[in-house]
Structure formats: structure tokens, C-alpha cells
């Protein structure tokens, strides 16, 4: 894990909140009664990378919880009014202070700037908002929420800033999070049995879809062999990316275009902080870099050649290099994915409670489902290790008991259509946001720091 960004308490300059950008025609608020509460905007220095802003919507009480809100990002531009409506409802439901971290994300501020900004904002909140009436710091359980790119960064923050004994993320609500920027559905299809191994060995030898906590003690149903019959091969079911990629608001072409805009090179979105899914499994793709002439020149020949033979070979290679085309560009290629253990053993990380929502017609639906799956698996493993000191199930009943506990800690819910929080075209959006606010408040009010 890269070293944690540590900053001293930055100088905070209150500034006048800029006027909200004109609202895109894609969304219209159906409930005009939602008003934006007053707030203050703070300049937060980011060392040698300029500064970003944090908007603070103060809570109703000084002892109210603090919740971080991460905007949707450039995937859905021009929705500032809708996001302020969300913040207003969250503040009303939780009674808490909402800190909106306005991270920078564009071609000019490509990765890793977005998650550096989020970490700077998180540090500023801990150092400036978590103070008692005597201006003394105190430990607190924080919430974080966001959708799309904001959901990706919220997931990253919740996975890495949850250390016991510190002010930490204890509840994370994400909607349609982009947790894997690789988008493997856009890569050439390869039969699972023919997938190549990754170029380098990974942390475990367990396939990503396999339960590492299973044991031979769990009864396995043995089926009697049947006579082979000629059957027509079944077609592979389409993924959510393929089924819903042509929608008008969140098409897959837009997602891929924003990815190319935010990352300067493909191996950047293989990073775990950029694609938080890679904390729990290796990528489904690897970057194949072509071997250039200088690499071939550095290799030793299989046999030692005399000087005349070597000169002839060099002369031949110089001619072929002149006629050869330019080197190919690095490409992404499918490969096998392997499971990873997270949090690592011996760490003080304790994963927060999760509320994951997605749309039934969202191209990111499968990503949300996989995120819930790996989080539940991690929660069950951690609970078993804490209670029984083991990492393997004894029997099926024990497995089901811990999986039930994990499902309560990591909740997954599907919303109609795309399920976007900012798609405020019906009356259900307000109910959904209020439910999320109530869930965050309940989770932050229970438990210990």
C-alpha cells in the first residue's frame, strides 16, 4: 500500500460560494420544496498541486454526526442543483454536518489527483470539524456517500480510512459506484478455460470466484454421471454492461470516454486506489507491452558467435529494422483473476457498514453486485476469525450463520431504471435519499470508535 498522505492542518480561507451552474436538461426536480441550506466554502491547499474546496453544510447541533459527500464527477456534468438537493435531504434526515469534498477530475487533473484531493479533504475534516466546544479534537465515526465516480472514491476512502482507534469511516453509502475502470466486457471474449495466467503471480492461488473459506467438511452433492447427449451449446447470458449500454443518460461510450480522459495510461486504472475492486481480486485484464528493439538488443544470444557471424547478423537486423513498422502500442488483454485477502491480516482496519444501491437498468449493475459479494465475503471471514480464531467453515450451518451477519453489514438494493440519486424525475428519489440518511444515522449512532 502506498504511504498515506499526511498533511499539516491547512490554512482555511472562507470564500463566497459560487453560483450554481446551469442545470442540464436531462434531469428536473419534481419536488421544488427542497431548498439548499446555507454553507461556507473553504480553500484547502494540496501542497504543490494547487488547492481544492470543501463546502460545509453545518448540522443542526454541535454534537451531530459528520458525513462526507463526494460529487458524481465529470460522468454527469451540470447536476449541481440536484446534488445540493441530495445534501439538503441528508442534512435534514441525519441532522448532521455535510462536508462536500469538491475533488478535481479532468484531463488537466487526471489520476491520482482525484483521490489525493479526497484524502486532503478527509484530513481537513478530521482536523477542523471534529472539535468540541473547547476546540479539542475528539474521535468520531464518520459517514461517506457518493455515486458513480464519487461512489468509486467513497469506496476507496471507506476501505482505507477505517482504522480502529482513530476518527474513521464507519458507514458508507454508494450508488452505482465505478469500482473497476477496466470494463472487461469491452475486451475480446475468451473462453474461461483458455484464459491466460497473469504475467506475475498474485497474492493467492484461489480463483476470484472461489470461496477461500470453504473446506472439505462442507458436504458436496455428488451427481451420478449421465449418458452424454448431443445438445446445442447455450448462449452466454449478456452482462449488464451489454444489456443497458445504450441508455440515453449513462451510456457505456460515455463511461469509456471519461476513463480515457481521466487516466493518462491504461496501467493507471489497474491501481487499487483507482479501481477499489482490485483490493479484493486481481484485475480481469493485464497490460501487454510489446518488446522494443532495445530490449531484444540487451538479450544474450543462445550461442556465442564469432565476430564475423555477429557482424553479419547485426547488418541483417539493421536492414529489417528499417523496413519494419512502428512498434505496437500496449494493449489490455483478458487474463485469469485471483482472490485477494482484504483487509490484510494484522492490520487495524475494520471495514465499515455498507449500503450499496444500483439501478435495475444500469450498465454498472454487475459492478455493484460484485462489490457487495466481495465485501460480504470479507465481513464473514473477519467475523469468523474474530469469534472462532479460524478462517475455514466447520459446516454448512456455520457458513450460513456468518453469511447472514455479513448480509446485514453489507446491504445491496436495486432501484428502478438507472437508479441515479440525481435522476430526480419521480417521487421515489426523495424517499430513497431519506432512507439512506436514516441508515447512515442509525449506523453512526451505534457501535464504538
Calculate helix-pair angle for 396-409, 365-388, nearest 10 degrees: 120
For cell 478455460, the residue is 193
The residue behind cell 466481495 is 374
Q: Is residue 260 part of a domain?
A: no
Beta bridge partners of 173: 145, 355
pLDDT digits (tens, 9 = 90+) for 314-334: 555 555 554 445 446 778 888
Q: Are 399 and 281 members of one domain?
A: no
Taking the C-alpha atoms of residue 58 and residue 56, their distance in angstroms, rounded to an integer, is: 6
Classify residue 148: in a domain, yes or no. yes
Instruction: Examine the domain organization and report whether 159 and 198 are in the same domain.
Output: no
Residues 290 and 366 in one domain: no
pLDDT at 7: 40
- If we measure between CA atoms, which residue out of 139, 43, 158, 40 comes closest to residue 98? 40
Q: What is the H or E stretch that residue 66 is in?
A: strand 66-70
Sign, CA dihedral 230-232-236-237, equals negative
Regions of the chain short of the pLDDT cut 50: 1-3, 6-33, 215-224, 293-294, 296-297, 322-324, 326-327, 449
Whether 240 maps to a domain, the answer reads no
Burial letters for 146-161: b for 16+ Cβ neighbours within 10 Å, e otherwise? bbbbbbbbbbbbbbbb
Cell numbers at 27, concatenated: 434531469
Structural domain tally of the chain? Answer: 2
314 membership: H or E segment, kind and range: helix 307-323
Chain-centre distance for alpha carbon 412: 15
137 in the same domain as 274: no
Q: How far, in whole angstroms, is CA 363 from its chain's centroid?
A: 15
Angstrom CA distances, 427 to 8, 31, 216, stand at 44, 8, 50
Q: How many of the other CB atoms lie within 10 Å of CB of 201?
A: 10
With CA atoms as reference, report the closest residue to 112 among 6, 2, 200, 7: 2
Q: For residue 43, give the CATH number of its domain.
A: 3.40.50.1820
Three cell numbers written together for 388: 472462532
CA dist 376 and 404 (Å) reads: 9
Angle between helices 113-128 and 149-160 (to 10 degrees): 60
Residues 168 and 280 in one domain: no
Same domain, 140 and 190: no
Together in a domain, 111 and 130? yes
Round the CA-based radius of gyration of the chain to a whole number and report it: 25
DSSP, residue by residue, 138-159: ---EEEEEEETHHHHHHHHHHH
Q: Are residues 387 and 277 in the same domain?
A: no
DSSP-derived 3-state class of residue 270 = helix
40 and 146 share a domain? yes
Do 131 and 274 have their domain in common?
no
pLDDT at 316: 55
**168 and 188 fall within a common domain:** no
SS3 content of the chain, % helix, strand, coil (to 5): 35, 15, 50
Residue 289: name the closest of 328, 330, 325, 333 by CA.
Answer: 330
Q: Do 40 and 159 share a domain, yes or no?
A: yes
Query: The domain containing residue 140 runs over which residues?
Result: 13-176+349-445
Last residue of a domain, one of 283, 312, 340: 340
> Which position has the grid cell 478462517?
391
pLDDT tens digits for range 39-76? 899 999 999 999 999 999 998 777 789 999 999 999 99
Q: Do residues 332 and 285 make contact, with C-beta atoms less than 8 angstroms apart?
A: yes
> What does 87-105 look like in DSSP terms, one character per residue?
HHHHHHHH--EEEEEE---
Residue 411 near residue 356, CB atoms below 8 Å: yes
Distance separating alpha carbons of residues 189 and 438, to the nearest angstrom: 43
Q: Please state, in angstroms and rounded to a whole number, the distance separating the CA atoms of residues 404 and 386.
A: 16
CA distances from 267 to 116, 275, 288, 409 (A): 18, 11, 10, 33
C-alpha cell at 78: 451540470
Amino acid at each position: 500500500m502506498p504511504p498515506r498522505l499526511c498533511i499539516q492542518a491547512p490554512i482555511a480561507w472562507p470564500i463566497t460560494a459560487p453560483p450554481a451552474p446551469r442545470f442540464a436538461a436531462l434531469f428536473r426536480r419534481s419536488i421544488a420544496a427542497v431548498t439548499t441550506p446555507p454553507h461556507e466554502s473553504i480553500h484547502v491547499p494540496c501542497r504543490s498541486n494547487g488547492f481544492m474546496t470543501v463546502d460545509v453544510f453545518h448540522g443542526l447541533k454541535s454534537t451531530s454526526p459528520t458525513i462526507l459527500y463526494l460529487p458524481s464527477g465529470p460522468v454527469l456534468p451540470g447536476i449541481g442543483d440536484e446534488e445540493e438537493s441530495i445534501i439538503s435531504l441528508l442534512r435534514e434526515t441525519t441532522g448532521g454536518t455535510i462536508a462536500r469534498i469538491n475533488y478535481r477530475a479532468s484531463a488537466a487533473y487526471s489520476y491520482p489527483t482525484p483521490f489525493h484531493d479526497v484524502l486532503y479533504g478527509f484530513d481537513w475534516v478530521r482536523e477542523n470539524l471534529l472539535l468540541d466546544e473547547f476546540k479539542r479534537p475528539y474521535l468520531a465515526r464518520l459517514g461517506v456517500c457518493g455515486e458513480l465516480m464519487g461512489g468509486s472514491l467513497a469506496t476507496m476512502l471507506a476501505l482505507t480510512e477505517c482504522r480502529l482507534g482513530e476518527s474513521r469511516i464507519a458507514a458508507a453509502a454508494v450508488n452505482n459506484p465505478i469500482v473497476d475502470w477496466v470494463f472487461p466486457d469491452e475486451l475480446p471474449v475468451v473462453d474461461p478455460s483458455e484464459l491466460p495466467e497473469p504475467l506475475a503471480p498474485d497474492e493467492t492461488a484461489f480463483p476470484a470466484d472461489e470461496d477461500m473459506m470453504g473446506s472439505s467438511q462442507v458436504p458436496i452433492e455428488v451427481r451420478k454421471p449421465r449418458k452424454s447427449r448431443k445438445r446445442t451449446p447455450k448462449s452466454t447470458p449478456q452482462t449488464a454492461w451489454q444489456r443497458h449500454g445504450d441508455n440515453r443518460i449513462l451510456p457505456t461510450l460515455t463511461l469509456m470516454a471519461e476513463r480515457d480522459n481521466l487516466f493518462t495510461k491504461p496501467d493507471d486504472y489497474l491501481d487499487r486506489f483507482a479501481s477499489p475492486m482490485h483490493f479484493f481480486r486481481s484485475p480481469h485484464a493485464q497490460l501487454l507491452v510489446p518488446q522494443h528493439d532495445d530490449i531484444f538488443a540487451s538479450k544474450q544470444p543462445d550461442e556465442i558467435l564469432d565476430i564475423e557471424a555477429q557482424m553479419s547478423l547485426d547488418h541483417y537486423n539493421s536492414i529489417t529494422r528499417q523496413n519494419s513498422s512502428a512498434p505496437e502500442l500496449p494493449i489490455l488483454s483478458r487474463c485469469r483473476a485471483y482472490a485477494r485477502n482484504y483487509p490484510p491480516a494484522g492490520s487495524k482496519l475494520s471495514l465499515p457498514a455498507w449500503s450499496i444501491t444500483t439501478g435495475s437498468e444500469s450498465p454498472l449493475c454487475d459492478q455493484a453486485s460484485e462489490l457487495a459479494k466481495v465485501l460480504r465475503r470479507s465481513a464473514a471471514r473477519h467475523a469468523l476469525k474474530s469469534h472462532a480464531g479460524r478462517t475455514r467453515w466447520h459446516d454448512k450451518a456455520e457458513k450460513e450463520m456468518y453469511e447472514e451477519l455479513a448480509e446485514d453489514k453489507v446491504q445491496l438494493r436495486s432501484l428502478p431504471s438507472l437508479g441515479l440519486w440525481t435522476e430526480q424525475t419521480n417521487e421515489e428519489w426523495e424517499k430513497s435519499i431519506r432512507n439512506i440518511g436514516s441508515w447512515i444515522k442509525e449506523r453512526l449512532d451505534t457501535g464504538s470508535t
